[in-house]
Amino acid sequence: MSQPQDTNQAPSHRLVMQATGVTKRYGQVTALDGVDFELRAGEIMAVIGDNGAGKSSLIKCLSGATVPDEGQIQLDGQTVHFKTPIDARRMGIETVYQDLAVAPAMSISENLFLGRELRRPGVLGSVFRMLDKKAMLEQSIARMNDLKVGIRSMNQAVETLSGGQRQCVAVARAAAFAEHVVILDEPTAALGVKEGNMVLELIRRVRDKGLPVILISHNMPHVFEIADRIHVARLGKRAAILNPKKISMSDTVAVMTGALAPENLPADCLA
């Protein structure tokens, strides 16, 4: 797969999110064993690993879905303690899971504001709790246009959209409300080539707007096409941080499976 020309500036070295020594146990099973993680401003960080490597457990800790047993998570240098995903959302972290959590029968506009509905001003909103559908529609159009998402009408039901378009709606919703980080769990899974590329292009635009992105994916060509750095999870630990511009896909898989030790890689392969 040919690499698109990258006209973006290199990511800043400023850390937006950092996890140190994160450990999570489920009974006798240690899902995370002292994992470190760093996300820089303006980057797409891919997280890869075999099943059971700990990548899902790590993301759950970063998104508030799981409380770690040990370790520390920092956001913009401040230690945070997430007990629920709502806590993480309040701190500007938005997560898009594989099931998307969209309401198929509702319109695109209604889905973008799902759980964050705007009320009409004055008594109509405060007492009668009437929704400000006009404001939500206008803001939806502006946000989708800002991200260059081509949708015919914000009033059409999500169930009328293709799989790629639905994924774009979910990603755009996350980008609209995230202040610090967007976390995407397998955003191109089960999509065809054209729709997968549509979602990848949207992820680039989210990054270009200044939001760092954590991308969990099994699709190695997509990882190499879009990621600035790759966090490799293995056996509940961080095996390596790789530079996709300097390492081959086959060597990356070898590190992921344990067939190649990171210390045997050239120095420029490590990020």
For the chain, what is the mean pLDDT?
90
Per-residue confidence (pLDDT) for residue 12, from 0 to 100: 66
Q: For residue 107, what are its two tokens?
A: 């319109």
Same domain, 92 and 216: yes
Pairing of strands 70-75, 229-234: unpaired
Task: Please check whether residues 101 and 202 belong to one and the same domain.
Answer: yes
Instruction: Give the pLDDT of residue 7.
Output: 43
Domain extent for 138: 108-156
90 and 179 inside one domain = yes
**Does residue 9 form part of some domain?**
no
- Domain assignment present for residue 6? The answer is no
Q: Does any domain span residue 8?
A: no
pLDDT score of 258:
96
Q: Which residues contact 99 (CB under 8 A, 6 or more apart)?
A: none
Q: Using a cut of 0.75, tell me whether the model's pTM lies above it.
A: yes
pLDDT above 70 as % of the chain? 95
Q: Does residue 78 sit in the same domain as residue 129?
A: no
Instruction: From 240, 245, 243, 247, select the one nearest 263 (Cα to Cα).
Output: 240
pLDDT tens digits for 194-225? Answer: 888 989 999 999 999 889 999 999 999 999 99
Q: Is residue 1 situated within a structural domain?
A: no
Kindly state whether residue 220 falls inside one of the protein's structural domains: yes
Domain count, the chain: 2
- What is the pLDDT, as a whole number, of residue 31? 97
What pLDDT shows up at residue 6? 47
- My answer on whether 118 and 201 are in the same domain is no
The Cα-based distances of 265 to 184, 237, 258, 261 in angstroms read 28, 18, 13, 7
Q: Are residues 45 and 69 in the same domain?
A: yes
* 192, 162 Cβ separation under 8 angstroms: no
- Could you tell me if 49 and 130 lie in one domain? no
Q: Do residues 91 and 209 share a domain? A: yes
Residues of the chain with pLDDT under 50: 1-9
Instruction: Tell me, yes or no, whether 179 and 193 share the same domain.
Output: yes
Is 4 within the bounds of a domain? no
Shared-domain flag, residues 121 and 235: no
Burial profile 82-109: b = 16 or more Cβ within 10 angstroms, e = fewer? beebeebbebbbbbbbeebebeeeebbb
Report yes or no on 248 lying in a domain: yes
Note whether 259 and 131 are same-domain residues.
no
Note whether 188 and 231 are same-domain residues.
Answer: yes
